[in-house]
């Protein structure tokens, strides 16, 4: 709807996000992009993350920790959240798309999709416990 104009700041944000596999928050993105552009404002980071999400160039993730995370990998995949350290990790797993039809079976409305994340203890935190 709204014509998009080039912005170096948006480009920097996208570029940074593409280098990361750990799904950083807006503030982490802000802190890092400041290395390239010390004058960028946090509001600009938030606005561009929203624009990039709207354009389908990145995904906004909600993993239940109260702050949004962002992912430049827009291919369908799922995430694991460590309840110990909070890290968000990509999962390689078979499709579970069938759960949408399972849910739709007895529902009088239109189900368009689902939001799923898994939680538990990551490998690193599991090891940490064994050694202490």
Residues contributing to the site for DNA (CB under 7 A): 2-10, 25-27, 37, 39-44, 46-48, 50-51, 66-68
CB of 125 to DNA, least distance (A): 21
Query: Interface with a copy of itself includes 2 (CB under 8 A)?
Result: no
Query: Interface with a copy of itself includes 119 (CB under 8 A)?
Result: yes
Give the Cα separation of 45 and 27 in Å (integer). 8
Contacts of 124 (CB under 8 A, 6+ apart): 82, 85, 87
Q: Which stretch binds a copy of itself (CB under 8 A): 12-20, 35-43, 47-55, 97-105?
A: 97-105
Query: Interface with a copy of itself includes 108 (CB under 8 A)?
Result: yes
Considering only 6, 64, 75, 130, the residue that binds a copy of itself (CB under 8 A) is 64
Contacts of 94 (CB under 8 A, 6+ apart): none
Give the Cα separation of 12 and 49 in Å (integer). 11
Residue whose tokens read 């709204």? 2
């Amino acid at each position: 709807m709204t014509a998009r104009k080039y912005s170096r700041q948006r480009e920097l944000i996208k570029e940074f996000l593409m280098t990361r596999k750990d799904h950083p928050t807006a503030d982490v993105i802000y802190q890092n992009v400041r290395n390239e552009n010390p004058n960028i404002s946090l509001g600009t980071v938030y606005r561009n993350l929203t624009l990039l999400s709207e354009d389908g160039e990145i995904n906004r993730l909600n993993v239940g920790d109260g702050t949004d995370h962002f992912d430049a990998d827009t291919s369908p995949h799922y995430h694991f959240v460590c309840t110990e350290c909070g890290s968000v990790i990509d999962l390689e797993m078979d499709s579970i798309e069938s759960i949408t039809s399972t849910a739709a079976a007895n529902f009088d409305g239109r189900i368009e999709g689902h939001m799923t994340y898994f939680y538990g203890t990551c490998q690193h935190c599991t090891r940490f416990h064994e050694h202490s």
